[in-house]
Amino acid sequence: MLQDCKLSKKTVAAVFILAAVVVTLVLLAMGQPFHCSCDQWWWPWSGDVWSSHNSQHLLDPYSFTHVSHGLVLYWICFFALGKLSVAKRFALTLTAEAVWELIENSPWIIKHYRENTVSLDYFGDSALNSVGDLLCCGTGFLLAAATPWWGTLVVFVGFEVGLLLTIRDNLILNVLNLVGDFPGLVEWQKKG
């Protein structure tokens, strides 16, 4: 498993730090805040997805979807790029997640989320939240590397069902709302 992958702690740390620094600097240049503007910005968790605190602290319920990004990207890289070292696949995964974080915070995506999802108070992620998302994605990748495929599937389904039951949203619904127009789904989510 992971110990057979030759993915050193130094490599993991270096790739994560590089991705986190680049994303933070670009998001700050784009005008995103570093952290939540509330007086408890230092608190790592914001559990209320219906508030303006969502996506502003280090972690929130959507952090689980970013762990799922790592799970899925591990297996995509495994099948598509299996000849590459695990370290290179990890770097590609975090690069893909970093690119997503920048796209997700573009004016077009923010506007789309506000108009087509229940995220009416969404103004993009803070840089700190994006670093948390990178951390979660990397954790998902490492978890997938350390477990058999069925373990990854169990974790993924568990996160999807858990989020569906607690916040009426998850990775699959988020993607559906991003690529299509599903007013019935949004109405159902608003009842949560």
- Note the pLDDT of residue 1: 47
Read off the pLDDT of residues 168-187 as tens digits, 9 standing for 90 and up: 999 999 999 888 888 888 88
| Helix, strand, coil distribution of the chain in percent, nearest 5 | 65, 0, 30
Model confidence at 10: pLDDT above 80: yes
Q: Measuring CA to CA, how many Å separate 84 from each of 20, 70, 87, 175?
A: 23, 17, 8, 28
Asked which of 10-14, 28-32, 51-55, 167-171 is least confident by mean pLDDT, the reply is 51-55
What residue has token string 């690119």?
Answer: 99
Q: Quick one: tokens of 49? A: 């997805």
Cβ neighbours, 10 Å, residue 136: 22
Q: Measuring CA to CA, how many Å separate 186 from each of 28, 152, 177?
A: 31, 28, 8
Domains of the chain by residue range: 2-34+56-190
Residue whose C-alpha is closest to residue 145's, from 90, 68, 81: 90
What does pTM read for this prediction?
0.93
Split at pLDDT 50, 70, 90, the class of 151 is: very high
- Note the pLDDT of residue 40: 84
- Note the pLDDT of residue 50: 84
Contact 70, 142 (CB under 8 A): yes
Average pLDDT, the chain: 92
Split at pLDDT 50, 70, 90, the class of 3 is: very low
Model confidence at 141: pLDDT above 70: yes
Residue 59, strand partner residues: 45
- Note the pLDDT of residue 68: 99
The rounded distance, in Å, linking the Cα atoms of 3 and 145 is 9
Provide the angle, in degrees to the nearest 10, between the axes of the packed helices 127-146 and 9-29. Answer: 150
Read off the pLDDT of residues 79-128 as tens digits, 9 standing for 90 and up: 999 899 999 999 999 999 999 999 999 999 999 888 877 666 789 999 99
Outline where DSSP puts E strands in 13-123.
none
Model confidence at 26: pLDDT above 70: yes
Dihedral sign for Cα atoms in the order 56, 60, 64, 70: positive
pLDDT over 70, % of the chain: 95
